[in-house]
Amino acid sequence: MTIRATVLGTLCRPSFVVAIAAVAVFVGPTSAHKAPHTPEQLKLYEDLLMEEVRKGDLLFHGDAATAKQMNVVLSTTGMACAMCHPMASDTHPQSYPKFQVETSKFATLRDMINWCIEKPNQGEKIEIDSEAMKALEAYIHWSNAGSVLVPGKH
Amino acid sequence: MSDELDRIRREMHAVLQQPGVRPDDSLQITRRTFIHRSLLFGAASVGQTFAWWPLLNTIDVAHAAEAPFKFAWISDTHLYERSLNTRFVDKVVRAVQEVQAMDPPADFLIFGGDLAQLGKIEELELGVELLKDLTIKKYYIPGEHDWYLDMGKKWGELFGQPNWTFDHKGVRFIGLDTVSRGPDYWTVKKMTPEERMGHMATLDGTVAGAWAGVGRDQLDWMQKTLADWDKSKPIVIFSHNPLYEYYPPWNFWVRDWREVNEVLKPYTKVTNIHGHVHQVLYNEIGSMRSIGMLATSWPWPYAPEGVPKLTKPMIRADPGDHYDGVGWETVNVNADDKVDVEYIMWGRKEVFVQSDPDSSLSQPEKLRPRMADNMWPY
């Protein structure tokens, strides 16, 4: 319980990384799949997701401090993702992977995120498995939760 | 959120959609604005029934024009400082050149708000500079992006009173300020002007709340303004926000739509032309028609719910072409006393979707409101 309280108390703070390390040591992953999940574990997993969603939400809405902290340049025009995609609308994460007309490739959501960063936003594309990419993906998926999976749909 | 929206919509329907009440029969639909024929005649419709409707070639806002005339509309330019974003500047320049080149010339221009992106003096002055090349008479109403850095101080210095009225060739025109009466969300939280503006400038923000409204004082002014106007004569009302409820989470409405309807109900030929939504929209509320206009800056997707059933959706824009999905409008009052709204969407001959994959509504969405802007420190 001490660990859980610590984690909850550190949400939204830089020391969150420490909490993640603590989770790795104390609650998994070696035992996580061998014993029934405890409510504390489930809450922790949810908190971990929501921290990624929070960071992704801020990046998606052009928060300069978060972009600086994560060392990314997602736009140089003043535009932010959310200006064309309020509430992550019209991102359709449920439709990936699919052939993407813009890139003439069979693409993932991450590919399209990078295309938007580079083209409309005139920013610098980010590593495909970077922390910023995972946060953006977490926010877009979370915001669109409830939509039906339709891979390939245009 | 959906349950609450459904409740509001049912209420609005009960209040506004009285049996048999529609805009005046003499109003038709322009060749550029389309309507679902089955709805015209009262057929039932459920959900997102934007199936591929028969097109009526004329919608119209009728009136007793003394002579044919046309005017132009530009809005939602969202200018940053020139050094930061030249694309938005280029598009304003193009719109201004095209309006200036109209032959015969437009009688006047309506600028429908959101000249600036963050309300900065430099942004507003850049807008004035760019629009200076347009020599016809110009009328301005404010958008929220123009207002909440200094609470309309600079905008007022440049453009004067935000609400106004004038008569032109048999039509009474009214400009409304639907942005300046937002509830105070900044004082208690000790926000800086920039922070206040930042929340207001985020369409899907949750902090600024239901800021769009006309206000009792302005409603009284509008009622007084219309008191001497024949109830069967045409009225065109310009507002930044739509005057009905479309999607409150993005302030695609005014919160006092009931009171607006009360004031306008006696008049049979009312047309509302609005910006803010950056998309093609058409709706009828009681005897009022409502037409949404394009931005020059960027298009917005349709909201996940609440798109008026009478709207024929615009085509999904190509995000790789910043001239796509945006543009300006001419409003042409012809010799038959009709007003023809024509969307000038750059790079497109066909403004409206012709098949399902060309519509942003082709994939139903269930969206959650954002959360990070309501966490610490707010």
> Considering the domain A2-143 in this protein, what is its CATH number?
1.10.760.10
User: Which range has the worst mean pLDDT, A23-37, A98-112, B105-119, B293-307?
Assistant: A23-37
In this prediction, residue B287 carries a pLDDT of 79
Please indicate whether residue B243 or residue B288 has the higher confidence score (pLDDT). B243
Task: Report how far apart, in Å, the C-alpha atoms of B128 and of each of B63, B136, B155 are.
Answer: 32, 14, 10
Three-class DSSP category at B200: helix
B369–A87 C-beta distance less than 8 A: yes
Please indicate whether residue B323 or residue B269 has the higher confidence score (pLDDT). B323
Residue B21 pLDDT more than 90?
no
Question: Which residues on chain B are in Cβ contact (under 8 Å) with A90?
Answer: 301, 360, 365
In this prediction, residue B274 carries a pLDDT of 95
Band of the pLDDT at B289, cuts 50, 70, 90? confident
- Residue B264: Cβ within 10 Å count: 22
Mean pLDDT of B197-205: 96
- Alpha helix ranges (H) inside A92-130: 109-118
Band of the pLDDT at B353, cuts 50, 70, 90? confident
Question: Which residues on chain B are in Cβ contact (under 8 Å) with A120?
Answer: 319-320, 322
A142–B366 C-beta distance less than 8 A: no
In this prediction, residue B335 carries a pLDDT of 55
Please indicate whether residue B5 or residue B53 has the higher confidence score (pLDDT). B5
Q: Give the E-state strand segments of A2-151 in sequence order.
A: 98-100, 105-107
In this prediction, residue A11 carries a pLDDT of 45
Domains of chain B: 2-359 (3.60.21.10)
Looking at the complex, report in whole angstroms how far the Cα of residue B26 sits from the nearest Cα belonging to chain A: 38
In this prediction, residue B233 carries a pLDDT of 86
Looking at the complex, report in whole angstroms how far the Cα of residue A138 sits from the nearest Cα belonging to chain B: 12
Do B322 and B298 contact (CB within 8 A), yes or no? yes
In this prediction, residue B60 carries a pLDDT of 37
- CA neighbor of B114 nearest in space, from B283, B282, B294: B294
Do B75 and B338 contact (CB within 8 A), yes or no? no
- Residue A66: Cβ within 10 Å count: 21
Mean pLDDT of B153-166: 98
DSSP string, A78-101: S--HHHHSGGGTT--GGG-SEEET
Closest residue in A to B206 (Cα) is: A87
Q: Using a CB–CB cutoff of 8 Å, tell me whether B378 touches chain A.
A: no
Nearest CB among B84, B363, B371 relative to A150 is that of B363
User: Which range has the worst mean pLDDT, A27-36, A87-96, B43-52, B113-122?
Assistant: B43-52
Question: Which residues on chain A are in Cβ contact (under 8 Å) with B202?
Answer: 61, 82
Mean pLDDT of B287-307: 92
User: Which range has the worst mean pLDDT, A82-91, A110-119, B300-309?
Assistant: B300-309
Do B234 and B271 contact (CB within 8 A), yes or no? yes
Instruction: Give me chain B's average pLDDT, please.
Output: 84
Band of the pLDDT at A28, cuts 50, 70, 90? low
User: Which range has the worst mean pLDDT, A5-9, A102-106, B340-344?
Assistant: A5-9
C-alpha B294: how far from its chain's center? 8
> Residues 303-332, chain B: which have Cβ within 8 Å of A?
303-304, 319-320, 322
Question: Which residues on chain A are in Cβ contact (under 8 Å) with B298?
Answer: 79, 83-84
Enclosing H/E stretch for B64? none
Residue B5 pLDDT more than 90?
no
Q: Using a CB–CB cutoff of 8 Å, tell me whether B343 touches chain A.
A: no
Residue B20 pLDDT more than 50?
yes
Question: Which residues on chain A are in Cβ contact (under 8 Å) with B372?
Answer: 53-55, 57-58, 61, 63
Q: Which residue has the tokens 């993005």?
A: B250
Query: What pLDDT digit, counting tens, does each position of B299-345 carry?
Result: 999 999 889 888 888 988 999 999 999 999 988 766 555 667 888 89
Closest residue in A to B201 (Cα) is: A83
Question: Which residues on chain B are in Cβ contact (under 8 Å) with A94?
Answer: 363
- Residue B231: Cβ within 10 Å count: 11
Please indicate whether residue B309 or residue B195 has the higher confidence score (pLDDT). B195
Residue B255 pLDDT more than 60?
yes
User: Which range has the worst mean pLDDT, A141-145, B112-116, B135-139, B229-233?
Assistant: B229-233
DSSP string, B153-198: HHHHHHH--SSEEEEETTEEEEE---STT----STTTT--HHHHHH
Q: What are phi and psi of A81, to 5 degrees?
A: -50, -45
- Residue B76: Cβ within 10 Å count: 26
Query: What pLDDT digit, counting tens, does each position of B46-89 carry?
Result: 333 333 333 332 233 444 446 778 899 999 999 999 999 999 99
- CA neighbor of B296 nearest in space, from B259, B265, B267, B323: B323
Nearest CB among A54, A86, A150 relative to B250 is that of A86
Instruction: List the beta bridge partners of residue B73.
Output: B110, B329
In this prediction, residue A6 carries a pLDDT of 38
In this prediction, residue B18 carries a pLDDT of 64
Nearest CB among A57, A150, A154 relative to B372 is that of A57
In this prediction, residue B331 carries a pLDDT of 85
A72: which residues sit within 8 A by CB, 6+ positions away?
A: A59, A123, A124, A126, A130, A132
